[in-house]
Amino acid sequence: MTNRLAIIVFALILAALLADGLLNDAAATLFLLKKFAALTEWMAFWR
Q: What is the 3-state secondary structure (H, E, C) of 16-42?
A: HHHHHHHHCCCHHHHHHHHHHHHHHHH
State the pLDDT at residue 11: 98
State the pLDDT at residue 46: 77
3-state secondary structure of 11: helix
User: Would you give the distance in Å from CA 11 to the centre of its chain?
Assistant: 13
State the pLDDT at residue 30: 97
**Phi and psi (nearest 5°) for 31?**
-60, -45
Q: In the structure, what pLDDT confidence band is assigned to residue 10 with cuts at 50, 70 and 90? A: very high
Q: Where are the domains of the chain?
A: 3-46
Inform me whether the pLDDT recorded for 7 exceeds 80: yes
**pLDDT tens-digit readout, 32-44:** 999 999 999 999 9
Q: In the structure, what pLDDT confidence band is assigned to residue 45 with cuts at 50, 70 and 90? A: confident
